[in-house]
Structure 1
């Protein structure tokens, strides 16, 4: 009887920790978006979720994979630090910010695909395969194209798995060096105030219909770290800023940001 009671209490606590959050849900309704947002405390494990079913669905990570890709490339010595340079070959890209030499810091900021494809060629398939397995980073289908797998749907991950991955990154439980973690930590900074620091990466998966927008990262406050993953259908490029603004509104609604 005691064991049954303990099990019931555990189930109820688990449910309350991951119950649908009405405040976040209303933001998605106002934005007219079909999507999900997962927000979880690193300290307590308290978790707020909008659309739990969608939070468990896997999608291509698109450029949010640059977080993991940076760590893998540093471990493989494909780059040595944030100031390593990539020489632009003169090929014109639709995004003007890509049409110049880059460092890993600038490549991360402008989401330079050709830069990270250059890294992938240096790293090779085996280290990616092993790192993805070790981190339980979604699912990687075989065979996969070395310079496309995080873009073409070969690699897929859910919002819940993304949050679990970022928690491993923040806790530094994955087999990467202190220097690798510190480099990533530096280049991920989006905004800092005396009260908090936001580190994050956008993503836009365009090889599905509809396209999927991502925003992934974490907020460090004085007494906690809040990890978040947002994805939603994003068929129109004009709505790309909604990835950040919708997530920020949710962070404000839960008191993580002012």
Structure 2
């Protein structure tokens, strides 16, 4: 018994030595520039460290909106509703308020322009039951797909927090999802946002309706520097969708510069 207690004590010391470090930072001034309140979380995998601003909000669930296009694109490839990122998806002629939607698309352009009609079309073919299986297998958000079956990621009870986005992105990045590696690798190429001499920023924006006046605005993804990955998730609430859409990139870039991951 004494030996067992000693072993358990040693194991507890080992586990503590590998415990994740959590550092809170004040990134409020970057959000204040745009008159918005939100959160930011970054996970430094090499140092096993979370850096968070506004941790309570980082743990709050919001509709995923177009950030779901990352897993959604993987699902579409897995289900064969689109075979390749350059396969032409014909436009049906419906006029949308966003000019870039009013044309034939590919998976590549659908991600770039956040083209909703492409993904609602996928949903009509895939069906809600299969989505439930994938969301469970991916352990994505609250897994509650109660809502419109062809746009549950935009309306309904589906929610994901910034912290949960990080958990999914780590599995996605390391090909630790129960899908073909090829499907994941194809989507990774679609979400590259920017590059520097020794770094690559990948991610996906999202904008979801909260009520008659407010939206949740997202940018989630990962940052690679010298082959070292950092996973990030940002969100904020805004009453001006168009006016704050670029703030998602600007706030993220400003924070990465403060953390000395990107040079000014």
Query: Size of the alignment, in residue pairs?
Result: 254
TM-score by length of 2: 0.89
What's the offset of the Cα at 1:194?
2.4
Question: In the alignment, which of 32, 43, 48 is matched to residue 46 of structure 2?
Answer: 43
CA contact (8 A) 1:226 1:256 kept: no
- The corresponding residue for 1:221 is 225
Report the 3-state secondary structure (helix = DSSP H, G, I; strand = E; otherwise coil) of the residue aligned with 1:75: helix
TM-score by length of 1: 0.91
Question: In the alignment, which of 10, 17, 22 is matched to residue 18 of structure 1?
Answer: 22
Report the 3-state secondary structure (helix = DSSP H, G, I; strand = E; otherwise coil) of the residue aligned with 1:85: coil
Report the 3-state secondary structure (helix = DSSP H, G, I; strand = E; otherwise coil) of the residue aligned with 1:89: coil
What's the offset of the Cα at 1:88?
0.7
- The corresponding residue for 2:254 is 249
Report the 3-state secondary structure (helix = DSSP H, G, I; strand = E; otherwise coil) of the residue aligned with 2:194: strand
The structure with the larger Rg is: 2
What's the offset of the Cα at 1:84?
1.3
Question: In the alignment, which of 179, 182, 190 is matched to residue 179 of structure 1?
Answer: 182
- C-alpha distance 48-103 of structure 1, shift in aligned 2 (>3 A): same
What's the Cα RMSD here?
2.3
- C-alpha distance 153-44 of structure 1, shift in aligned 2 (>3 A): farther
Corresponding position: 1:118 with 2:121: yes
- The corresponding residue for 2:239 is 235
Question: In the alignment, which of 197, 211, 216 is matched to residue 212 of structure 1?
Answer: 216
Superposed CA offset, 1:2-26 (max 9, x none):
849x57x949x65xx223212x233
What's the offset of the Cα at 1:181?
1.4
Superposed CA offset, 1:72-116 (max 9, x none):
111111111101111111111110110000000000000000001
Equivalents in 1 of 2:132, 2:256: separation in Å?
33
- C-alpha distance 206-144 of structure 1, shift in aligned 2 (>3 A): closer
Structure 1 runs of 4+ off > 4 angstroms? 1-4
CA contact (8 A) 1:40 1:163 kept: yes
> Unmatched 5+ residue regions in structure 2?
none
What's the offset of the Cα at 1:160?
0.2
Equivalents in 2 of 1:211, 1:143: separation in Å?
20
Corresponding position: 1:57 with 2:60: yes
Which has the larger displacement, 170-179 or 55-64? 170-179
Corresponding position: 1:168 with 2:171: yes
Equivalents in 1 of 2:203, 2:130: separation in Å?
24
What's the offset of the Cα at 1:207?
4.2
Report the 3-state secondary structure (helix = DSSP H, G, I; strand = E; otherwise coil) of the residue aligned with 2:133: helix
What's the offset of the Cα at 1:126?
1.9
